[in-house]
């Protein structure tokens, strides 16, 4: 396979930027697109996307474009559906004409959170929010299209360079607060975007097709993740656990959404490292370098 990549959302997105960095470091020729190149909400997007694919001739397209504002999606289901359902369907149509590998990203919010052991790719889905429902419909649109070389990656709870994220918000808040209250009754899989990007590349190398879970190993509550980040940064701030009922949000989140990565490991032979190790790399790189 040609090591040329088209990363949709690669200039401004959290995952997109990590992908561009990791792929380029590994010798890939990378084209990163923005909404100025292809605006997925605009008329004529199919032609614009087809032209971009034809011009860049990618060996692999990585689609990181999505409607990711989880609470806002409750009030804007049509906009969420446009980006999360119609874009994957559009990609399937265009890439049928320009065959290449495709990696598309989805979410742990596909599950209802009632399980208490890590979710397998074949576990029953049950999204609780508009965001979760639209992301799931997008996965299904792509997988049912039967595109050769198409791979859907469910990931979760991302932190990484280049854009705001939960860990960055916590560390910024700690500069002006002696105490922070953080939710302790949602458990998930904290994941470093740079590790996700590396594992995405490994999936392409292994010619992956179908559905995979890719997250760092281990599990944590938001409160545990925040506390670990604060400790690593050496900030004098106390992180206090609170129930999610103390911070009502528009979208319902799964109480437990840890992902089992065994399908990824079975194909690639790679086991993702534990999230605290990955978090240490992120915190040291971003916050302790000056
Ligand atoms: N972040 C997480 O914790 C998380 C967890 C699980 C799954 N995921 C999934 O991972 C994928 C990437 O997430 P992310 O956090 O990297 O998202 P993100 O930072 O919000 O990036 C989304 C990208 O989509 C682009 N975009 C939005 N609307 C567009 C449009 N109309 N036309 C063209 N581009 C448009 C954005 O461009 P602009 O900057 O111009 O808006 C941005 O580059 C998504 O599919 C998401 O569902 C994320």
Pocket flag, ligand 1, residue 157 (CB < 6 Å) = yes
Pocket flag, ligand 1, residue 72 (CB < 6 Å) = no
Pocket flag, ligand 1, residue 200 (CB < 6 Å) = no
**158-191 residue pLDDT tens:** 999 999 999 999 999 998 999 999 999 999 999 9
> Is residue 289 pLDDT above 80, yes or no?
no
**69-121 residue pLDDT tens:** 999 999 999 999 999 999 999 999 999 999 899 999 999 999 999 999 999 99
pLDDT band of residue 273 (cuts 50, 70, 90) is very high
What count of other Cβ atoms lies within 10 Å of the Cβ of residue 153?
Answer: 23
> Is residue 286 pLDDT above 90, yes or no?
no
Distance from Cα 13 to the centre of ligand 1, integer Å: 5
Q: Tokens for 23?
A: 């792929």
Alpha helix ranges (H) inside the chain: 14-25, 45-56, 72-75, 77-81, 87-97, 130-144, 166-174, 193-205, 222-233, 262-268, 275-287
Mean pLDDT, rounded, for 45-69: 96
pLDDT band of residue 255 (cuts 50, 70, 90) is very high
Between 223 and 248, residue with greater pLDDT: 223
- Sign of torsion, CA 262 228 222 244? positive
Q: Which atom of ligand 1 is nearest to the CA of 38?
A: 33
Q: Which residue minimizes the CA distance to atom 26 of ligand 1? A: 65
Q: Map out the domains of the chain with their CATH numbers.
A: 4-164+190-218+258-268 (3.40.50.720)
Mean pLDDT, rounded, for 40-69: 96
CA distance 139 to 110: 10
Q: Which atom of ligand 1 is nearest to the CA of 35?
A: 33
Residue 288, pLDDT score: 77
Distance from Cα 229 to the centre of ligand 1, integer Å: 24
Pocket flag, ligand 1, residue 190 (CB < 6 Å) = no
Mean pLDDT, rounded, for 228-257: 95
CA distance 187 to 246: 16
CA distance 216 to 100: 27
Catalytic hit among 67, 105, 119, 131: 131
Question: Pairing mode, if any, of strands 220-221 and 187-188?
Answer: antiparallel
282 noted as active-site residue = no
The answer to whether 46 and 90 have CB atoms below 8 angstroms apart is yes
């Amino acid at each position: 396979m040609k090591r040329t990549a088209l990363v949709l959302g690669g200039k401004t997105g959290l995952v997109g930027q990590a992908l561009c960095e990791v792929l380029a470091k590994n010798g890939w020729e990378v084209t990163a697109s923005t909404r100025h190149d292809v605006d997925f909400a605009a008329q004529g997007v199919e032609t614009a996307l087809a032209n971009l694919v034809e011009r860049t001739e990618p060996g692999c397209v990585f689609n990181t474009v999505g409607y990711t504002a989880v609470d806002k999606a409750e009030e804007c289901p049509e906009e969420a559906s446009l980006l999360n359902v119609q874009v994957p369907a559009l990609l399937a149509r265009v890439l049928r004409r320009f065959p290449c590998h495709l990696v598309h990203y989805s979410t742990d919010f596909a599950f209802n959170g009632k399980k208490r052991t890590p979710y397998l790719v074949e576990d029953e889905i049950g999204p609780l929010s508009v965001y979760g429902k639209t992301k799931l419909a997008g996965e299904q649109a792509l997988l049912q299209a039967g595109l050769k070389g198409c791979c859907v990656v469910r990931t979760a709870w991302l932190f990484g360079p280049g854009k705001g994220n939960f860990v960055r918000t916590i560390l910024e808040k700690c500069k002006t607060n002696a105490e922070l209250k953080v939710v302790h009754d949602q458990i998930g899989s904290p994941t470093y975007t740079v590790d996700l990007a590396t594992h995405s590349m490994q999936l392409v190398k292994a010619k992956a097709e179908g559905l995979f879970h890719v997250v760092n190993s281990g599990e944590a509550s938001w409160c545990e993740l925040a506390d670990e980040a604060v400790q690593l940064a050496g900030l004098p701030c106390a992180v206090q656990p609170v129930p999610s009922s103390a911070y009502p949000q528009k979208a319902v989140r799964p109480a437990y959404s840890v992902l089992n990565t065994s399908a990824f490991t079975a194909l690639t032979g790679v086991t993702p490292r534990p999230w605290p190790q990955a978090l240490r790399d992120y915190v040291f790189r971003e916050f302790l370098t000056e």
